[in-house]
Structure 1
Amino acid sequence: MRALKALAGLPRPVAPADLTGQAMPESKEGQMDSNEHSAADSDSDEETVHKDAQVGVQKIEATAQVWTKSTLITVYIMIWFIYFINAMEQGMTGNLTPYVTSSFQLHSLTAATSIMSSIIGGLFKLPLAKIIDVWGRPQGFLAMTACLTLGLVMMAACNGVQTYAAAQVLYWLGYNGQGYVMGIVVADTSSLRNRGFMFAFISSPYIATVWITGPLATAFLNGPGFRWAFGAFAVITPVISLPLYVLLQWNYRKAVKAGLMPQHDSGRTVLQSIKYYAIEYDVFGLLLICGGLALFLLPFSLYSYQAKGWQSPMIICMIVFGALLLIAFGLWEAYLAPVTFMPWALLRDRTVLGANILAAVLFFEFYIWNSYFTSFLQVAMGLSITQSSYIANIYSIGSCFWALVCGALIRWHGKFKAQSLYFGVPITILGVGLMIHFRQPDQNIGFIIMCQILIAFGGGTLVICEQLAAMAATSHQYVAVVLAVEGMFSSVGGAIGSTVAAAIWTGTFLPNLYKYLPADEQVNASTIYGDLVTQLSYAKGTAARAGIDRAYGETQKIMCVAATTALVLAIAGVMMWRDINVKHNKQVKGLVF
């Protein structure tokens, strides 16, 4: 999600790849001057829709020609409420996950459950970008709502960590996909100057839901159980989401009746269409990279459950075959794919590449220090579920609040690079770095809260600016693609971060338990390692609880060191951006904010 407009006189980026994977025509120097782009926009303003745009882009542009201001406001209100429900549901899920894994005596797999879901949820955004550009925004939104609902149903009915992890894949596929499509709708219906603020607005429900998710999770755990929590939202989600689909479709049909939508007829049969879209979406490449990343990353969190550890044949095979699949993906993309999965021409632009590097780094470091954060707060700091959820969600409150401020500043002066380079990155590094010292059981909780506030303000700045930078490299036709690539980098970065967190946890927490537990409790170390409830069953002040707390502190310190080190790459990512001004560019058509 975010905006764009090149500063007059500065060179435009390399032309992005079109949806067939081929580079769009470029000027003789390989770049388009921003004045040329402005002129092209001016000429095309006379058109009702961009005639050369993808069908999905034409549909939303035609829709924007017929709806009223009140309809547009209603769309944003609906999106806000869907974000509110999703934020409440996602926050509750985060609080419940350690208890779900602990119910199967596998608390240490808390981070592992998110690896596959992060990989697939992120990589699928590129095919989803093509789907909504070819078929339309409402259709993509409906499909993602179905995935989200099915994931919640499976989570409610799960009978093991394996089923729960599979449900998480569908859940996060739908959750990320639904949020992505709504973000594209916002990008379609807002000017570049206002887009950063509008993105911050639709994310603002997280400011309120932080106060709800902890008590809600506690109420379900103490009452009907975690299964009913997921089951309730399996009903609420489609009820709150479907009206947006109906409203968008209804206005699109008005545009068709008004003759605003160009007619399209592919002339293909059903089988020809299946073959065409399988090639267009590079299904084979998608399978290669998903399988490769999953097989390569999962062993880092699973090896401790094998009798022979890293020497286990299963672990060795997963790593070897994962690496081979990733190599095969690279060769397929370079030499054999009719349509490439990755828009390589787009990634040659330094602003887009820098934004994607920053996105990957932010999610990577976040998932390292956050994966076991609520468990640490409950065990080492002695907080309740509700109290720990409040602290863990300081990031959500602070970043969403500060994103509104950041969006308003961008609307005023049109620039975003300086905010990121001189405020966002330094304050994030400061906050994460201070946690190395303060995230210990003997420290005052106030210092941890201080670190979370610093990280939140940095994150609120960087997420808005990074997405604006990505969109500042292309035209309306390719907004969905650049945001999909940005989302893919974010999710893969998060998956790798979860992998590193799980590897640190499995490699250090159990040895630390043996090191710090009293001799008479060491026989229970494996049980303590695998169950959060067992950890909490030891009273504060006992030698066993002190040993568990100290083991948490030692492991958390390593996680925070790894996260802080990774943030050095964030500086490089931001420095790659051009200093683009988004204040005066008209990118979208119709009635928009």
Structure 2
Amino acid sequence: MKFRSPFDSVPPADVPVAEDDAKMRDTNDKEAGIEMDNIHPVSGGEADSDQISVDAQAGVQGVEAMTKVWTRSNLILAYVTIWFIFFVDAMQSSMSGSLVAYVTSSFSQHGLTATTGVLSNLIGGLSKLPLAKVLDIWGRPQGFVLMLICLVVGLIMMAACNNVETYAAAQVFYWVGFNGIQYTISIFIADTSHLKNRGLMLAFASSPYIITVWIGGPLANAFLDGPGWRWAYGAFSIITPAVCSPLLFLFYHNYRKAAKAGLLPKREEHNRTTLESIKYYCVEFDVVGLLLIVTGLALFLLTFNLYTRQPGEWRSPLIISFIIIGPLLIIAFGAWEKFFAPKTFIPYGLLTDRTVLGACILAATLFISFYIWDQYFFSFLQVVVGLDITQASYVLNIYSIGSCFWSFIAGYAIRRTGRFKWAALYFGVPVTILGIALMLNFRKPGVHVGYIVMCQIFIAVSGGTLVICEQIAVMAATSHQYIAVVLAIEGMFASVGGAIGSTVAAAIWNGLFPDRLLEYLPEETKGNFTEIYGSLPVQLTYERGTPTRNAIDAAYGEAQKWMLVASTVIQVVSIISVLVWRDIKIKDFKQVKGLVI
């Protein structure tokens, strides 16, 4: 029997798009003011002209001019600097992931471990859309500096916080800055690489995670045993700006070089007053739409995190008002965008493209699933499996090291074949479902840690494939002019998915774990229930094998089981979201200009 490769079913590059599908896209894009013939590769792609795009926004024109004047050594130095920025950010992020349970426990609020990330994930993702406007209207360097400031402010606030509320607010600033820096660099990579090589370059940028996996846990341990977790954040508030400085210098130097060469088109002079400028930028950034969607989603999602802490729980006036006002604001956002917004928050012509929408839904689904099973995983590894901080961080970060390593293989395979859909459909999604489903049987008390590691490896290699595929998918469906927008939409879906996942995890944990813990605790320690529930270090003080520790382990196992059930079920959406993609050939598609990789 002849083996049938997934490539055998791929249609040739010149097969036309179905007529009804083309008409639908034309209609959507005309509504958004976008000419489809100029942005869709199946329809011919961008023009081959290497001139600066006169109809593009100032930020796009600036980076196109920059790539025309810089040298190959500048390009190489930029990518080396990017690697070091990702290295420092990855090290800090890995360390912070190991510290968060100890930060919340220091305020006797271990149950809020997942809650602290809900708002930060949500706003961190939604902030990419206005950031995309900053990058396109003002420029890449300006957006990079703005995000760097947000990140440093967040680190300083975390170092100085005196309660969980301040820590959660600091997380918002930190994750807006962290996600914004990585997003800005991703746009820079898209600006300076051919589409066929972009998967490899994105893999290169994320490769520091392969190293920082082994550093984050010991570093967190060193700070906890030494100056304390506050200094962990304080130190990186100094280190991060220092590492980012060389890339800023390259931006500045080459932008000035392009301006002196007369490559930048002259901008139209505006004599707006301060009030007129505020009004102009409020319209450009769709401030009303942004406030409506952020506030609505935040109120609705926080309901499931906070209900157990209110008198009367679901009958609490605060919770009831959140449930009512949150969805109403989300509905108001839809109405505003459809009927009233002068500039729409989300370009419907791009979002309704089935490849873009499918990739965005895939990003949301992956993050929902990941955050459901990951939120209390670090605590589980210490309490139930019996690992120390360093060992637990190694297991926790298998996803990071595996996905970053495997993304090189996925990027190379996409480069060789010139296509990406097959990798997601025939490998990424099935292996992800396999890894999560197997954890249902292995993540419970008494199971050897080796089985948990095996499941993590499955999820890591499939995740490395899917992240590359979804980013290539959204970029392949548009032109250079709209790359920042589609990546922002993809990032927004991912972060909203992370917020939903954290919400589900917190709801399961706060709704199930305390009840099971109180039920399983022996009579002699039931009086210590509040301290045990609220603090990871307190849980670890009970010797393994004692009735109290066994009760804690059993409660963890019960909560983890239902988290994994929810995480597995949501993956059905992943299959559908990949099936709707067009099988776009990217091998010979020209999308960027100037000296690029």
Both proteins in one fold, TM over 0.5 = yes
Aligned twin of 2:8 = none
Q: Pairwise mapping of residues 330-479 of structure 1 onto structure 2 (< 5 A)? A: 330-479=334-483
- 1:397 & 1:66 partners in 2: Cα distance? 36
Q: 1:507 aligns with which of 490, 508, 511?
A: 511
- 2:42 & 2:202 partners in 1: Cα distance? 27
Aligned twin of 2:222 = 219
Q: Secondary structure at the match of 1:265?
A: coil
- Residue 99 (str. 1) matches residue 110 (str. 2): no
TM normalised by structure 2 equals 0.95
Relative to structure 1, the CA distance from residue 494 to residue 36 in structure 2 (aligned partners, 3 Å threshold; closer, same or farther) is: closer
- 2:260 & 2:195 partners in 1: Cα distance? 29
Relative to structure 1, the CA distance from residue 16 to residue 88 in structure 2 (aligned partners, 3 Å threshold; closer, same or farther) is: farther
- 1:401 & 1:498 partners in 2: Cα distance? 26
Q: 1:192 aligns with which of 176, 195, 201?
A: 195
Aligned twin of 1:129 = 132
Aligned twin of 1:41 = 47
Q: Structure 1, residues 537-587: CA drift from partner, whole Å, max 9, x if none?
A: 101111100100011011000000100000000000100101111100111
Q: Structure 1, residues 460-510: CA drift from partner, whole Å, max 9, x if none?
A: 000000110111110000000000000000000000000000000000000
Relative to structure 1, the CA distance from residue 420 to residue 545 in structure 2 (aligned partners, 3 Å threshold; closer, same or farther) is: same
Greater CA deviation, 199-208 or 519-528? 519-528
Task: Give how far 1:348 is off.
Answer: 1.3
Output the amino acid matched with 2:53. Answer: H
Output the amino acid matched with 2:44. Answer: H
Task: Give how far 1:36 is off.
Answer: 5.0
- Residue 287 (str. 1) matches residue 298 (str. 2): no
- Residue 70 (str. 1) matches residue 73 (str. 2): yes
- 2:550 & 2:286 partners in 1: Cα distance? 53
Relative to structure 1, the CA distance from residue 586 to residue 401 in structure 2 (aligned partners, 3 Å threshold; closer, same or farther) is: same
Task: Give how far 1:32 is off.
Answer: 7.6
Output the amino acid matched with 2:564. Answer: C
Task: Give how far 1:272 is off.
Answer: 2.0
Relative to structure 1, the CA distance from residue 437 to residue 318 in structure 2 (aligned partners, 3 Å threshold; closer, same or farther) is: same
Query: Is the Cα–Cα contact under 8 Å of residues 196 and 587 in structure 2 kept in the other structure?
Result: yes
Task: Give how far 1:17 is off.
Answer: 8.2
Query: Is the Cα–Cα contact under 8 Å of residues 41 and 477 in structure 2 kept in the other structure?
Result: no
Q: Structure 1, residues 219-245: CA drift from partner, whole Å, max 9, x if none?
A: 001111000000000000111112211
- 2:268 & 2:406 partners in 1: Cα distance? 47
Output the amino acid matched with 2:381. Answer: L
Query: Is the Cα–Cα contact under 8 Å of residues 7 and 582 in structure 1 kept in the other structure?
Result: no
Task: Give how far 1:374 is off.
Answer: 0.3
- 1:273 & 1:25 partners in 2: Cα distance? 29
Query: Is the Cα–Cα contact under 8 Å of residues 416 and 465 in structure 1 kept in the other structure?
Result: yes
- 2:119 & 2:491 partners in 1: Cα distance? 15
- 2:226 & 2:357 partners in 1: Cα distance? 48
Task: Give how far 1:246 is off.
Answer: 1.4
Q: Secondary structure at the match of 1:156?
A: helix
Output the amino acid matched with 1:465. Answer: C
Percent of aligned pairs with the same amino acid: 58
Task: Give how far 1:141 is off.
Answer: 0.4
Q: Secondary structure at the match of 1:41?
A: coil
Q: Pairwise mapping of residues 236-255 of structure 1 onto structure 2 (< 5 A)? A: 236-255=239-258
- 1:177 & 1:41 partners in 2: Cα distance? 30
Query: Is the Cα–Cα contact under 8 Å of residues 358 and 578 in structure 2 kept in the other structure?
Result: yes
Q: Structure 1, residues 390-410: CA drift from partner, whole Å, max 9, x if none?
A: 000000000000000100111
Output the amino acid matched with 1:126. Answer: L
- 2:282 & 2:178 partners in 1: Cα distance? 24
Output the amino acid matched with 1:73. Answer: I
Relative to structure 1, the CA distance from residue 215 to residue 33 in structure 2 (aligned partners, 3 Å threshold; closer, same or farther) is: closer
Q: Structure 1, residues 77-131: CA drift from partner, whole Å, max 9, x if none?
A: 0011000000000011111000000011100100000000011110111111011
Query: Is the Cα–Cα contact under 8 Å of residues 410 and 465 in structure 2 kept in the other structure?
Result: yes
Query: Is the Cα–Cα contact under 8 Å of residues 41 and 589 in structure 2 kept in the other structure?
Result: no
Task: Give how far 1:10 is off.
Answer: 3.6
Query: Is the Cα–Cα contact under 8 Å of residues 28 and 352 in structure 2 kept in the other structure?
Result: no
- 1:278 & 1:477 partners in 2: Cα distance? 22
Q: 1:300 aligns with which of 294, 301, 304?
A: 304
- 1:543 & 1:311 partners in 2: Cα distance? 35
Relative to structure 1, the CA distance from residue 551 to residue 588 in structure 2 (aligned partners, 3 Å threshold; closer, same or farther) is: same
Aligned twin of 1:23 = 33
Q: Structure 1, residues 357-402: CA drift from partner, whole Å, max 9, x if none?
A: 1000000000000000000000011100000000000000000000
- 2:34 & 2:88 partners in 1: Cα distance? 40
Output the amino acid matched with 2:33. Answer: A
- 1:192 & 1:428 partners in 2: Cα distance? 26
Output the amino acid matched with 2:471. Answer: Q
Task: Give how far 1:33 is off.
Answer: 7.0
Q: Pairwise mapping of residues 559-570 of structure 1 onto structure 2 (< 5 A)? A: 559-570=563-574
Relative to structure 1, the CA distance from residue 84 to residue 352 in structure 2 (aligned partners, 3 Å threshold; closer, same or farther) is: same
- 2:73 & 2:28 partners in 1: Cα distance? 36
Relative to structure 1, the CA distance from residue 236 to residue 34 in structure 2 (aligned partners, 3 Å threshold; closer, same or farther) is: closer
Task: Give how far 1:35 is off.
Answer: 6.5
Relative to structure 1, the CA distance from residue 53 to residue 308 in structure 2 (aligned partners, 3 Å threshold; closer, same or farther) is: same
Paired residues, number: 580
Aligned twin of 2:5 = none
Greater CA deviation, 558-567 or 299-308? 299-308
Q: Secondary structure at the match of 1:227?
A: helix
Query: Is the Cα–Cα contact under 8 Å of residues 40 and 477 in structure 2 kept in the other structure?
Result: no
Q: Secondary structure at the match of 1:293?
A: helix
Output the amino acid matched with 2:245. Answer: L
What CA RMSD, in Å, does the superposition of the two structures yield over aligned residues?
1.7
Task: Give how far 1:314 is off.
Answer: 1.3
Aligned twin of 2:209 = 206
Q: 2:534 aligns with which of 530, 534, 539?
A: 530
Q: Structure 1, residues 284-342: CA drift from partner, whole Å, max 9, x if none?
A: 11001111111111121111112211111111112211122112111111211111111
Relative to structure 1, the CA distance from residue 588 to residue 16 in structure 2 (aligned partners, 3 Å threshold; closer, same or farther) is: farther
Task: Give how far 1:9 is off.
Answer: 4.0
Query: Is the Cα–Cα contact under 8 Å of residues 16 and 346 in structure 1 kept in the other structure?
Result: no
- 1:549 & 1:268 partners in 2: Cα distance? 67
Query: Is the Cα–Cα contact under 8 Å of residues 8 and 34 in structure 1 kept in the other structure?
Result: no
Q: Secondary structure at the match of 2:263?
A: coil
Query: Is the Cα–Cα contact under 8 Å of residues 21 and 340 in structure 1 kept in the other structure?
Result: no
Give the gaps of 5 or more residues in structure 1.
1-5
Aligned twin of 1:551 = 555
- 1:85 & 1:565 partners in 2: Cα distance? 35
Output the amino acid matched with 1:541. Answer: G
Output the amino acid matched with 1:112. Answer: T
Aligned twin of 2:264 = 261
Query: Is the Cα–Cα contact under 8 Å of residues 303 and 309 in structure 1 kept in the other structure?
Result: yes
- 1:204 & 1:114 partners in 2: Cα distance? 25
Query: Is the Cα–Cα contact under 8 Å of residues 10 and 33 in structure 1 kept in the other structure?
Result: no
- Residue 591 (str. 1) matches residue 563 (str. 2): no
Query: Is the Cα–Cα contact under 8 Å of residues 133 and 285 in structure 2 kept in the other structure?
Result: yes
- 2:523 & 2:570 partners in 1: Cα distance? 37
Q: Secondary structure at the match of 2:385?
A: coil
Aligned twin of 2:3 = none
